Amino acid sequence: MSESIVFYLASQMGISTAELTEEVILTIQINSEGYFSLLNAQIEDTLQNAIPQLENLLNDAVEQIPQAQPGVKTNVGTFVSTKFELPIRILARK
């Protein structure tokens, strides 16, 4: 999953004018139908200033992840949504 996000970002981002080494923490939800959505992205100000469209790119990248099997509440067999945090390291060199 993280590879899918990283490949999407790499294909959408241009050439860097600054060196960056930052980490973004994504809070991702998989709903009861298995679809992914970005709930939150913790982005440092330096990274936000360097790549203003980053949150939109991250949202698009998460939405591109193929549908997954949703979580199952085992004692009743119903599908449930789940969420988790995924760290993504952003490296940019001149």
Question: Quick one: pLDDT at residue 77?
Answer: 84
Mean pLDDT by 10 residues, the chain (94 residues): 80 72 95 96 91 92 91 88 93 75
Residue from 33, 35, 24 nearest 86 by CA:
24
Question: Quick one: pLDDT at residue 17?
Answer: 66
Expressed as residue numbers, the domain containing 38 is 2-92
In the chain, the number of structural domains is: 1
Question: Quick one: pLDDT at residue 50?
Answer: 84
Q: DSSP assignment of 26-63, as one string?
A: EEEEE-TTS-EEEEEEE--HHHHHH-TTHHHHHHHHHH
